[in-house]
Amino acid sequence: MSKIAIMGAMPEEIEPLLAKLENVQECIYAANTYYQGEYKGKEVVVAYSKIGKVFATLTATMLIEKFCCDALLFSGVAGAISDELQIGDLVIADGLCQHDLDITAFGHPYGYVPEGEVCIPTDVNLRNIAKAVAHEKGLKLKEGVIATGDQFVANPERKEWIGQTFKADALEMEGASVAVVCSALNVPFFILRAISDSADMDAGFDFDAFLESSAKISADFILEMVDRIER
Ligand code: ADE
């Protein structure tokens, strides 16, 4: 039977998930807490990684290698790049890139290292499930590139640059790490974010104000998806 990993970066991103799990067992591994439980009879493992690419890489790897999850869904918040995205709106990644990966000195494009790819695609089947949920619930769901980097972006010029360089619609700090791990290990993955800020001068203030509410919007949607994933 399949086991679904649901990952966030911060406690606020997984708390709405934990509130709805049954038969929860906590397990500490590699300096992180993993919550094994059930949602509507399906086996899930939930964890938050802590912020940033390195911690996200560690947690995604553990969810697959130690907890034997065979699909990974990420739920959390993001900064908007696209003007179409307002606070609280949902965005799913069709692909993820690392906006802070730079060996352009050697003639490579931004976000590229040899034997890697600039933009890693997410699982089409999981994206289709998300679209079906959005359709059924009458929710707006934008699909686009999400750019990841070890920076909280609160700067209009940086945001503009990331948007233009990677054709990205939103930015955050973990998604591309999950993408690297899951594509290397051949595990289907999906990245959902609800907008908490617009990566501009007000981003720090907006993030604090909307982290909790946007994280819940994302978590509630993820649970609807879990309900629809075939065992
Ligand atoms: N996650 C949510 N908002 C963000 C921002 N402005 N920069 C990086 N990650 C974010």
pLDDT in tens, 9-56: 999 999 999 999 999 999 999 999 999 999 999 999 999 999 999 999
Residues in contact with ligand 1 (CB, 6 Å cut-off): 77-79, 152-154, 171-173, 196-197, 199, 203, 207
Residue nearest ligand 1's atom 4 by CA: 79
C-alpha triplet 78, 171, 221: angle, nearest 5°: 35
In the prediction, which pLDDT does 200 show?
Answer: 98
Task: Report how far residue 54's alpha carbon sits from residue 123's, in angstroms, rounded to the nearest whole number.
Answer: 22
Q: Which atom of ligand 1 is nearest to the CA of 149?
A: 8
Q: What pLDDT shows up at residue 1?
A: 57
pLDDT in tens, the chain (231 residues): 589 999 999 999 999 999 999 999 999 999 999 999 999 999 999 999 999 999 999 999 999 999 999 999 999 999 999 999 999 999 999 999 999 999 999 999 999 999 999 999 999 999 999 999 999 999 999 999 999 999 999 999 999 999 999 999 999 999 999 999 999 999 999 999 999 999 999 999 999 999 999 999 999 999 999 999 987
Among 51, 87, 172, residue to substitute to test ligand 1 (most atoms within 8 Å of Cβ): 172
Q: Give the Å distance between the CA of 72 and the centre of ligand 1.
A: 21
Could you tell which of 49, 89, 173 is best to mutate to test the pocket of ligand 1, judged by most ligand atoms within 8 Å of the CB?
A: 173
SS3 152: coil
What number does the ligand 1 atom closest to the CA of 198 have? 6
* Domains located in the chain, CATH noted: 3-228 (3.40.50.1580)
Q: What is the pLDDT of residues 176-191, one digit of tens each?
A: 999 999 999 999 999 9
Q: What are phi and psi of 112, to 5 degrees?
A: -115, 135
Q: Which helix (H) or strand (E) covers residue 130, if one does?
A: helix 124-137
Task: Please check whether residue 96 is in contact with residue 120, taking contact to mean a CB–CB distance below 8 angstroms.
Answer: yes
231 within 8 A of 42, measured Cβ to Cβ: yes
Q: Say how many Å lie between the CA of residue 152 and the centre of ligand 1.
A: 5
Q: Among positive and negative, which fits the CA dihedral 145, 188, 126, 39?
A: negative
Q: How far is the CA of 35 from the centre of ligand 1 (A)?
A: 25
Q: Which residues are tagged catalytic?
A: 13, 197
pLDDT at 133: 98
Q: Cα separation of 212 and 32, whole Å?
A: 21
178 CA to centre of ligand 1 in angstroms: 16
Integer Cα distance of 63 and 49 in angstroms: 10
What is the token pair recorded at 152?
A: 């909280």
Of 106, 104, 81, the residue nearest 91 (C-alpha): 81
Nearest CA to ligand 1 atom 2: 78
Cα(138) to centroid of ligand 1, in Å?
26
Atom 10 of ligand 1 has which residue's CA nearest to it? 172
Of 219, 203, 145, 137, nearest to 176 by C-alpha is: 145
